[in-house]
Amino acid sequence: MSASPRPDIASILARSRAIPVLVIEHLEDAVPLAKALCQGGLPVLEVTLRTDVAEDSIAAISEGVPEAIVGAGTILTVSDITAAERAGSRFLVSPGAGPALLEAIAECRTPFLPGIATPSEAMTLLERGIEHMKFFPAEAAGGVSMLRSIGGPLPGLRFCPTGGITPANASDYLALENVLCVGGSWMAPAKLVRAKRWNDIAALAREAAAL
Ligand code: 3PG
């Protein structure tokens, strides 16, 4: 049992209608990328733990871009939680949650957004008092109609769908009562990051922030 109330993932998700999901390949890109996204109006950033520089990138953004709320994505194991917290992550995101991760989430002091793709997975989280979830992989797992259907029997749940979200379908998700925000990689495409086209990324962020 935790000693004090868990910080609130809902208040972080409420800060932005769209959360960039970032795969940072080079540490030198972390700060300018985060600055561009923040300038475009997207302050909540998920840095996936999929590259060797992910943790250092989170630390660099925390230090160098105070307007950013930087979290860690692709949390798969208990040791990922430790590493992400050590780097200064303000929130944590997982694509799903097995038994060991569920236990760790219950003890975790950092706001956590675990992923689900089915009603049963959502109910497993709900049994543990978790009402805010990532819906992943959103398009492949049934998209807007799946989330609308889940909202029937489970109206109290709130989602951040991620996986296959684009400027073309984001508004359909955001129109759902049970969707607080969407996540995706489209605001920071690898091609633009590699070319260090920060102004173009800021422009994509502006469009996403206006959704
Ligand atoms: C991911 O975990 O990779 C995110 O869901 C991003 O998915 P996307 O690249 O389809 O936006």
Per-residue pLDDT tens digits for 154-184: 999 999 999 999 999 999 999 999 999 999 9
The owner of tokens 């959103």 is: 138
pTM of full prediction above 0.85: yes
Nearest to 161 by CA among 182, 186, 132, 139: 182
Q: Determine the atom of ligand 1 nearest the C-alpha atom of 23.
A: 3
Distance 18 CA to ligand 1 centre (A): 12
Model confidence pLDDT, tens digit, residues 19-64:
999 999 999 999 999 999 999 999 999 999 999 999 999 999 999 9
Number of other CB atoms surrounding residue 140 within 10 Å: 11
- Domains by residue range for the chain, with CATH: 17-209 (3.20.20.70)
Residue nearest to atom 11 of ligand 1 (CA): 184
Q: What is the largest CA-CA distance in the chain?
A: 47
H and E: helices and strands count for the chain: 10, 9
Ligand 1 in contact with 184 (CB < 6 A)? yes
Distance 67 CA to ligand 1 centre (A): 23
Ligand 1 in contact with 165 (CB < 6 A)? yes
Q: Determine the atom of ligand 1 nearest the C-alpha atom of 134.
A: 5
Q: Is residue 103 among the annotated active site residues?
A: no
